[in-house]
Amino acid sequence: MSRLRLRWEENTSPTLAAAVARDPVVILPVGSIEQHGNHLPVGCDANSAEAVALRAAEGFLDVERPVLVLPALWYGYSPHHMAFAGTVTLRSETFLAVVQDVLDSVLSQGVRRVVILNGHGGNVSSLDVVASRLGQAWHGKARIVAVTYFQLAAARQDEFRESTMGGMGHACEFETSVQLALHPDQVDMSTAVPCYPRPPSPRQSTDLFGSSVVRGYHDFKDLSPTGTLGDPSLASREKGEMILGICVEELRTFLAEFATWPMT
């Protein structure tokens, strides 16, 4: 039998059958294709989630319960970005159905531990619904959780953050740093423009680590002329490596814990 590989799609069917019998943790990275200001690629959220998943899963193949990474879902739920060129969105019904069908496939073949690793804020509510629906359908037989990768760094933002609230939102200090670390060739810093948006209520925040007591639809065209929310001028490659390191470390800790969760 061929050697087990990290990426699900690079394995043969018999190799995966043997891996599934070892009760693996399976990660589904989920992103979106959407504008990220003038300076970042539209695949930012998907490539970030996939990179964090692959880096975190490294070294987990030879342990009792291996970690495998499914092919990333590059499309997500991004209607609030559609006013900007390059955005491609699924309808929420389609998005829910695709994620659910992908995960139902592996669950029905015996996978019992699934982590949806999300890279896009607009997906959060839908993925909560999927994790809840599947969790109920597979109750007692499998565990399904959803994690948004940048939230893994929330408690440690003082280690890398220079901007005030509002500086980390979208194509911002945080995401620009991550792209400079992962894909510097796809970043055009000469076109990066900071924007500290003012949502209509002080009870709303556009910051990745802010909290919105009042929630609702915000079209990004109304919040920012370029689509950027936050301050990309504070981004650096070093900061991106630090952020990725924190996200990967936190995810690895969780993966080890999740591998031991009981089924109820």
Binding footprint of Zn ion on the chain (CB under 5 A): 44-45, 175
CB-wise, 11 or 32, nearer to Zn ion?
32
CB-wise, 45 or 250, nearer to Zn ion?
45
The dihedrals phi and psi of 27, each to the nearest 5 degrees, come to: -105, 130
CB-wise, 68 or 171, nearer to Zn ion?
171
Least CB distance to Zn ion at residue 170 (A): 6
| Integer Cα distance of 185 and 167 in angstroms | 23
Report the candidate in 66, 159, 144, 65 with the shortest Cα–Cα distance to residue 105.
Answer: 144
Least CB distance to Zn ion at residue 75 (A): 14
Strand, helix or coil at 103?
helix
Least CB distance to Zn ion at residue 202 (A): 24
| Integer Cα distance of 34 and 228 in angstroms | 12
Which tokens is 159 given? Answer: 């280690």
CB-wise, 45 or 231, nearer to Zn ion?
45
**Exposed, middle or buried, 257 (CB in 10 Å: 0-12/13-18/19+)?**
exposed
Tell me the residue number closest to Zn ion, measured at CB: 45
CB-wise, 44 or 246, nearer to Zn ion?
44
Residues 6 or more apart from 39 whose CB is under 8 A from it?
171, 176, 187, 188, 189, 190, 191, 192, 228, 232
CB-wise, 106 or 178, nearer to Zn ion?
178
Contact indicator for 232, 81 with CB cutoff of 8 Å = no
Least CB distance to Zn ion at residue 107 (A): 28
| Integer Cα distance of 172 and 150 in angstroms | 12
| Integer Cα distance of 5 and 52 in angstroms | 17
Strand, helix or coil at 75?
coil
> How does DSSP assign 239-264, residue by residue?
HHHHHHHHHHHHHHHHHHHHTT----
Check residue 42 and report its DSSP letter.
T
Least CB distance to Zn ion at residue 184 (A): 17
CB-wise, 36 or 143, nearer to Zn ion?
36
Least CB distance to Zn ion at residue 21 (A): 37
Least CB distance to Zn ion at residue 102 (A): 21
